[in-house]
Amino acid sequence: MKYLKPIVILMAVLIFFGTSAIIYIIFDKLFSKNELIFPHKDELKQLQINENSEIINTNISDDKLILTIKLNQNYQIIIYDLKSGKQLYFFETN
- Distance between CA 35 and CA 83 in Å, rounded? 8
Give per-residue pLDDT as tens, 10-57.
Answer: 999 999 999 999 999 998 888 877 666 665 665 555 666 778 888 888
Q: What's the DSSP call for residue 72?
A: T
pLDDT at 9 over 90: yes
Q: Give the three-state DSSP class for 48.
A: coil
Alpha helices in 32-87 (DSSP H): 41-44
pTM of the model: 0.48
Residue 35, pLDDT score = 65
Per-residue pLDDT, 21: 96
Confidence of residue 67 (pLDDT cuts 50, 70, 90): confident
CB 82 within 8 A of CB 37: yes
